[in-house]
Amino acid sequence: MNTPDTAPETGGSAPQQTALHRWAFWVAAVAVVAADQATKTIIRTFMDRGDIWPSDDWPVRLKYVTNTGAAFGMLQDQTVFLTVMTFIGLAAIYVYYRYPPFQHWVATLAIGMMLGGAVGNLIDRILDGRVTDFIDFPRFPAFNVADSSITVGVAIIIIGYLFLEARKDTPAAADADG
């Protein structure tokens, strides 16, 4: 049975995306890029590199740092490699968008979040050769809105797949669909 959250499979080709799926995907992607770039612009405008606000004794703070590598400082000064890898990641996100791991608007929302995060950091890498990070928990590497969006998007995909797909196979779900 088709519900507003699902679309019929089309004989081996990509599932048809409902308007809700497309809307969730694009709104998430655009919102993440906008929030990521706006927050980075604010940080670069009002803080100097290395500045920390409010102070060292807060559990979370703003700390303006830049990163020429990937997560956790890996692959420093590998901008070309990381840019190429980002484009490969964008291709993978497109495949996930066309062939989502499960048919639910939550999946396309999460995939849109990952797209927005990848594009947000790609913009930094292309324009500045480094990514601006500013969300700082002491004893943990600083990160940004794009990093958070990618992480949350992946978590949503995993949790959604485990719970939404598993629920489809239960007798109660079959009765509800039937």
110 with 160: CB under 8 angstroms? Answer: yes
Phi then psi dihedrals of residue 132, to 5 deg: -85, 125
Q: Let me know if 169 is a catalytic residue.
A: no
32 with 121: CB under 8 angstroms? Answer: no
Give the DSSP letter string of 36-66.
HHHHHHHHHHH--TT-EES-TTSSSEEEEEE
Q: Let me know if 133 is a catalytic residue.
A: yes
* Tally of CA atoms within 13 A in the half-sphere of 130 that contains its CB: 13
Q: How far apart are CA 160 and CA 178, in angstroms?
A: 22
Q: DSSP assignment, residue 18?
A: P
Catalytic residue from among 36, 124, 136, 147: 147
Tokens of residue 96, six digits? 């996930």
Rg (CA), the chain: 19
Catalytic residue from among 36, 124, 133, 136: 133
Which residues participate in catalysis according to the annotation? 133, 147
